Amino acid sequence: MSAFGPLLSSRLSVDYPNNPAVLRDVSLEIQPGDIVGLVGESGSGKSTIALALLRLLASKGAKVSGEVIFEGEDLLKKPESEIRRIRGRRMSIVLQSPLTSLNPALRIGTQLSEAWKAHAKQGQAQCEEAIRAALRSARLPDDEEFLRRRPSELSVGQGQRVNIAMAILHRPALLIADEATSALDTITQSEILSLFAELNRELKMAVLYISHDLPSVAALCQRVAIVYKGGIVESGTSDAIFTNPKHPYTQRLLSAIPLQRARKPNGSACDEENVCR
């Protein structure tokens, strides 16, 4: 527990006009620098939690109740103008589909520049410095040739790294990765997991890693929360969840999916041959 309290503490319920109780009193806590896994099958409510934390459900007609205490303030009580200053700066998200998350008509440098200027008033020199630093942190080239590429000229893995670079431009306190590795091949997935662990260590940035893939959660996360039918049914340390699950759903989930990758003490991902990347 941080001396200053959790980075994020939320208690959420979400209702739609024709689909009540999509989320039911979901409580989630993230400490500064934590890596927390949110696990559940498709349709369990994982992505709804992410969108609710970012206040992105209003356009979908959802009613969100409860509280989202982030850095000591309740985001559900703030006007949208203030949320826009937080979203993308203090709390960022990386989505599932790398290339469709990028604008196909704009060069990579332009998209990163626009993301920087949305939250910063510094000049062009500071903008370029921040972009190049973010690209290096995401293990991407920071030269002009790369910045002039369009999304169609990138591999899927490079596209996801660009999304990560965009998400960390302003060094957010919390990065939400919503199924961010599910569209990637096994090797690239392992590399991205290792990158998340590295960013967590180097930037002291908390990560909420949302996935239905238990091996990747075991490889990366320090704490895990299990989502089932719109509620969190079990939470605890990664070791406790994976070695001694208490809830019947968690037990069924673990028994259904072979754990082919093990969690290492440094948080790196390891493949089937136990080789860390």
Task: Return the pLDDT at 125.
Answer: 92
Share of the chain above pLDDT 90, in %: 77
Chain segment 201-213, per-residue pLDDT in tens: 999 999 999 998 8
Where is average pLDDT lowest: 16-20, 53-57, 172-176, 246-250? 16-20
Q: Where are the beta strands (DSSP E) in the chain?
A: 8-16, 19-30, 35-39, 63-70, 73-74, 91-94, 174-178, 206-211, 223-228, 231-237
Q: Which fold has domain 1-90+176-277?
A: Rossmann fold (3.40.50)
Task: Return the pLDDT at 4.
Answer: 62
The structural domains of the chain, with segments of one domain joined by +, span: 1-90+176-277, 105-169
223 bridge partner residues: 36, 237
Statement: residue 241 has pLDDT above 50: yes
Where is average pLDDT lowest: 13-22, 58-67, 224-233, 264-273? 264-273
What letter does residue 270 receive in the DSSP assignment? B
Q: Name the band, by pLDDT with cuts 50, 70 and 90, for residue 43.
A: confident
Per the CB < 8 A criterion, the answer to whether 209 and 196 are in contact is yes
**Residue 240, CA distances (Å) to 29, 32, 185, 220 in order:** 17, 21, 28, 14
Task: Return the pLDDT at 3.
Answer: 52
